[in-house]
Structure 1
């Protein structure tokens, strides 16, 4: 084997090794967040008297909320731009997380929660549409969670009432962990408002 061929072979192997190294080098492993455990209820809410059972449909919303990416907005720089965290993810999509949380909280309020597949005739149906689910930075060191949810109650396929619930909660830290904590708190506050609203609606 000539010196030229030897050098060519060496360069080929070295280049392949370098490319393999670049392909295998990755950033930090993504950190996953959810809403944490559901706190134990103090007592059944008044909504249980009017709605002993309720069909709760899964929350629907924009396509960007049907992914595990965590987004935030730098309101002080560009409020129209939503940016993803590089190494942070949701354990499930925001739509799934909120669906689970709302159903768990409503059940804790004393209402028997049924899925759309378990629905029986005459059981009211609650539909939920999420319009906003975001962590907004007012400055580099201050952010808050914002959730806006539209709730529609149907009975016998007829709309009984509809209301929009909006809540903002301050984040304990200016990062993804703080956003997840604040969004969990906002979700619980939204569900408390839902239960209070249901208690005002007339029973069948």
Structure 2
């Protein structure tokens, strides 16, 4: 496309050259019916207009490139800002997943206030929605974190809802231990993996920008 644009920009110059050649030929033939001053003035006017056209096209191209550079700069700044926010969220969610996995390994995990506290911490961690301009892997993982956060919160809500019935059953059976839902463990492990991946990817992007 750049070569085509350069060729189109040269068209007015070829036109001027052609007109100049025609004028020179006519002048050489010495045609008496022509007013050479008027003809030459017209040719010079055409030449000036052609040069103005070329200059205008060059200015438009320069403005477009400057605008594109500004858009790229703003995009980079916005992406960097998002990377900083999502990295912080990923670190919090990774820590949350690790801590919760350790907590539910103990027999004391089946406690209504504890479950409520865990859920409150989870939903209190913001996960910013990714813009389309960030790396695809980070964008997809961020959406995965949002979905997993919602899924873990739903599981914890179900645990809270079923807790009174389970406690009665537990008391009737000599306080047998209650195992955490396998799906909860699976989703917590997924969240931990998402957090590790996001942090690793952003560290790599930061290093590549510094070099």
With structure 2 as the length reference, what TM-score do the two structures score? 0.29
Greater share of strand residues, 1 or 2?
1
With structure 1 as the length reference, what TM-score do the two structures score? 0.29
Point out the structure with max Rg over C-alpha: 2
